[in-house]
Amino acid sequence: MNEPGPPHQIWLKPYDPLRRRREPVMDFLRPASWEEALAAKAAHPTAVPIAGGTDVMVEINFDHRRPEYLLDLNRIGDLYEWEVGEDSVRLGASVPYTRIMENLRAELPGLALASHTVASPQIRNRGGVGGNLGTASPAGDAHPALLASGAEVEVESAERGTRLIPIDEFYKGVKRNALQPDELIRAVHVKKADGPQQFSKVGTRNAMVIAVCAFGLALHPETRTVRTGIGSAAPTPVRAKAAEEFLNAALEEGGFWDNGKIITPSVAKQFADLCSAACNPIDDVRGTAGYRRHAVGVMARRTLTWTWESYRGAGRTAYRMGGAA
């Protein structure tokens, strides 16, 4: 009878009951209004905002981060509200992904699809787009949809007031964004869909997974343009601008917007290749750089097929008349 092999060795830090006592104490700031939150951020620029806590608390619990101040925004009600306007939706920074899925699928189909892929129901009930933007991780699920729809981020400070940052200018590096130290994200302005939108994500399973890579695509029949968004395949979320320019020209020259013809395989392949070329991925535990480039190309071709079939279908006339079906 064979002797059992040695047990797997798992190396853990020795338990230290005094460890927490020796760590720096975090001050917990709980403003009751938006004005109080801005004042607190102005007084403590290093304060880390927390609402859903689905990113921040993980970093704190695993000792990856120990901020001096936590700025709790959960008591500020208007961060959980949204407003549907004539051309766009103003989405409060803390509106949970579940609400986007349930209430804004018609207006923001790409973002609703992306929201559906976020983690688990519990996380979707807590997390929101504002947290994704604040963390600015290239793997954030909301980013490709926001890029494809041409969103704007509403930020505010006590001293300078409100400004809108185009989504293309918001991402500055790995987990770095365009916020000034005294600014907070108040809302996101997302254009209502005037055509089909799609979102696709590659992961090891269909829940509770960080994207290996992700892709968003939006058709804009009113302007006869397309926009893309790529996640987890570069230091920041990016658009495939060369691919967009190629497809815009191909659709216009071929009269596709008017005649609704099927997009040829050669056009779809060129679009996919240009999307792959827009990536600047890394090798990590979730996937290799080569796999990410390949997967982005596959997702680009598939989402183009799906969105164009939607446009060619029953809703094409409605889209051309300026309204989403």
Q: Which residues contact 50 (CB under 8 A, 6 or more apart)?
A: 56, 57, 70, 71, 72, 73, 74
pLDDT value at position 65? 87
- The domain limits of the chain are 197-320
Tell me the C-alpha distance between 280 and 293, whole Å.
8
For residue 2, report the phi and psi dihedrals to the nearest 5 degrees. Answer: -70, 140
Distance of CA 287 to CAs 66, 233, 292, Å? 29, 10, 7
Model pTM above 0.85: yes
Residue with tokens 């659709």: 251
Candidates 247, 232, 252; CA nearest to 296 is 232
Cβ atoms 229, 216 nearer than 8 A: yes
Helices 265-277 + 289-312 axis angle, to 10: 140
Residues (pLDDT < 70) of the chain are 1-23, 314-325
Residue 291: φ, ψ to 5°: -65, -40
Closest CA to 33 of 76, 73, 67, 63: 76
- Domain 197-320, CATH class in plain words: alpha beta
Contact 129, 91 (CB under 8 A): yes
pLDDT at 8: 40
Sheet of strand 184-191, all strands in order from the earlier edge strand to the far edge: 82-84, 88-92, 184-191, 152-157, 161-166
Instruction: State the Cα–Cα distance between residues 62 and 48, nearest whole angstrom.
Output: 16
- How many Cβ atoms are within 10 Å of 131's Cβ, its own excluded? 24
The reported pLDDT for the residue numbered 5 is 42
**pLDDT score for 208:** 87
pLDDT at 147: 99
pLDDT digits (tens, 9 = 90+) for 15-36: 555 555 556 789 999 999 999 9
How far is the CA of 277 from the CAs of 50, 138, 293, 324, in angstroms? 36, 17, 7, 31
> Which phi-psi region, left, alpha or beta, contains residue 224 (left: φ > 0; alpha: ψ -120 to 50)?
left
DSSP summary character for residue 261: P
Contact (Cβ atoms closer than 8 angstroms) between residue 274 and residue 240: yes
Backbone angles phi, psi at 78, to 5 degrees: -70, -10
d(CA 218, CA 86): 19
Count of residues for the chain? 325
Residue in 64, 216, 88 with CA at minimum distance from that of residue 140:
216
Which residues does 86 contact at the CB level (< 8 Å), separation at least 6?
A: none
The two three-digit tokens of residue 2, written as one number = 């064979």
pLDDT tens string 97-117? 999 999 999 999 999 999 999
Closest to 152 in 3D by CA, of 175, 174, 178, 176: 178
Q: Helix (H, G, I), strand (E, B), or coil: what is residue 98?
A: helix
Tokens of 17: 């009951």
Encode pLDDT of 280-318 as tens digits.
999 999 999 999 999 999 999 999 999 999 999 955 655
The pLDDT assigned to 19 comes to 56
